[in-house]
């Protein structure tokens, strides 16, 4: 075999024979003999390695595909008279399913390049023109499974974003694992920096898998970043319909109302419900405290613009009422996470604005 490979390699590289269908057929036949031996060992329960079976199988298919292509070129009279088609089809039909095992070997080793090489070749054979109209070309659960894991492997390879996007796009309309396919495709577009395709793919995903929160969550995040609060709320409310007792979801909606839409009253309602559902949720407790704290800051700013002392004093008391509302929540969240500097600073500011010097001194001592 080693000698045969060396001889045929020379023939394939020679310009006079490089376009010979027979030369490529012989190259495929050499590898087929190796595959045949490995297949017999496999049937006898013996272990076959990659170099003894899967790599020769991969090379055999490539050589035979090239031979098939050249074998179907018109002759000098413009006619196509293939000589090797029958033998090539028989060999490929017999052995190509073993590519799945080669792909599984790559997946088990987390060698995604190897896995993709074998699994994508499986799909290539099934879709080859030589098998058009035959049982080989008929899609089934196995071929859909192989196509998915081939695309998955492509998406896990480094510096392979463009190829992964192409492969994932080719199977996204196949009714098999579409949830995972659309998630992987979205991530690949994000990795490629194509934010428009990323957003569009997320929207497609919501239509294909309407109950999957992953797409709606990411769409909501995009809209929040873009400042499109109403659109973000639209996606978040869809999520809330399916998961009405999710504290983090309620917090996000509360934040949009209180900060994005400047509607602290509505935001307060969502935060209160989140705290009720999970009294230990730091996000919910601090979010609610922020609603009150921010109103206190605004009230202080308004008070500082008042010249009349009586009105100023009244406005100052109004500001303090908001800080007083924030106080128990900030104390609780500080207790839950005393090392969080954000919680600690907010609580210290509330102590300051409420004139709680003793508590300020205790915090100073705690820090030291």
47-104 pLDDT tens trace: 888 999 999 999 999 999 999 999 999 988 889 999 999 999 999 999 999 999 999 9
Residue 214 has what pLDDT? 93
Length of the chain measured in residues:
368
pLDDT of the residue at 230: 95
Residue 47, pLDDT score: 86
Closest CA to 284 of 294, 274, 298: 274
Residue 299 lies in a domain: no
Looking at residue 76, its pLDDT comes to 80
Q: What is the pLDDT of residues 293-332, one digit of tens each?
A: 999 999 999 988 888 889 989 989 999 999 999 999 999 9
Contact at 8 Å (CB) between 92 and 64? yes
**Tell me: the pLDDT tens digits for 197-238?**
999 999 999 999 988 889 998 999 999 999 999 999 999 999
| Domain-embedded: residue 260 | no
Quote the mean pLDDT of the chain: 94
Q: Domain for residue 305, yes or no?
A: no
Instruction: Please tell me the predicted confidence (pLDDT) of residue 307.
Output: 87
DSSP character at residue 73 = S
182, part of any domain: no
Count of domains in the chain? 1
In a domain, 263, yes or no: no
Q: Is 278 exposed, middle or buried (0-12, 13-18, 19+ CB in 10 A)?
A: middle
Judging by beta carbons within 10 Å of its beta carbon (0-12, 13-18, 19+), is residue 159 exposed, middle or buried?
exposed
Residue 19: the pLDDT is 95
* pLDDT above 80 (res 367): no
Q: How far is CA 317 from CA 237, 283, 294, 311, 353, in A?
A: 37, 28, 15, 10, 10
CA distances (Å), origin 135, targets 74, 164, 334: 27, 28, 67
Asked whether residue 3 is assigned to any structural domain, the reply reads: yes
Looking at residue 261, its pLDDT comes to 92
What is the domain range of residue 6?
1-138
Q: What share of the chain has pLDDT > 90, as a percent? A: 87
Summarised one tens digit per residue, pLDDT across range 117-147 is 999 999 999 999 999 999 999 999 999 999 9
Residue 252 pLDDT exceeds 90: yes
Residue 368 has pLDDT above 90, yes or no: no
Q: Looking at residue 210, what is its pLDDT?
A: 87
Residue 111 included in any domain: yes
- Residue 61 is assigned to a structural domain of this protein: yes
């Amino acid at each position: 075999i080693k000698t045969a490979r060396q001889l045929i390699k020379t023939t394939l590289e020679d310009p006079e024979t490089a376009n010979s269908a027979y030369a490529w057929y012989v190259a495929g036949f050499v590898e087929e003999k190796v595959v045949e031996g490995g297949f017999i060992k496999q049937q006898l329960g013996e272990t076959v390695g990659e170099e003894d079976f899967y790599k020769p199988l991969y090379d055999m298919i490539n050589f035979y595909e090239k031979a098939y292509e050249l074998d179907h070129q018109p002759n000098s009279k413009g006619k196509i008279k293939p000589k090797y088609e029958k033998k090539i089809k028989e060999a490929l039909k017999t052995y190509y399913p073993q590519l799945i095992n080669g792909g599984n070997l790559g997946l088990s080793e987390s060698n995604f390049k190897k896995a993709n090489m074998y699994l994508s070749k499986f799909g290539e054979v099934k879709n080859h023109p030589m098998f058009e109209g035959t049982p080989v070309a008929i899609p089934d659960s196995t071929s859909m499974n192989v196509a998915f894991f081939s695309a998955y492997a492509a998406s896990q390879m480094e510096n392979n974003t463009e190829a992964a996007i192409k492969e994932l796009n080719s199977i996204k309309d196949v009714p098999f694992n579409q949830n995972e396919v659309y998630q992987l495709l979205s991530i690949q577009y994000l990795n490629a920096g194509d934010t428009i395709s990323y957003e569009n793919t997320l929207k497609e995903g919501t239509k294909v898998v309407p109950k999957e929160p992953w797409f709606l969550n990411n769409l909501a995040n995009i809209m929040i970043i873009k400042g499109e609060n109403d659109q973000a709320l639209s996606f978040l409310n869809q999520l809330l319909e399916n998961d009405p007792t999710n504290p983090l979801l309620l917090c996000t909606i509360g934040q949009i109302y209180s900060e994005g839409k400047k509607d602290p009253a509505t935001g307060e309602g969502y935060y209160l419900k989140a705290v009720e559902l999970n009294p230990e949720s730091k996000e919910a407790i601090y979010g609610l405290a922020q609603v009150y704290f921010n109103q206190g800051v605004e009230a202080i700013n308004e008070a500082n613009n008042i010249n009349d002392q009586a009105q100023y004093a009244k406005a100052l008391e109004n500001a303090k009422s908001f800080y007083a509302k924030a106080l128990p929540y900030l104390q609780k969240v500080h207790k839950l996470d005393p090392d969080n500097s954000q919680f600690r600073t907010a609580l210290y500011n509330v102590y300051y604005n409420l004139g709680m010097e003793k508590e300020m001194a205790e915090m100073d001592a705690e820090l030291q």
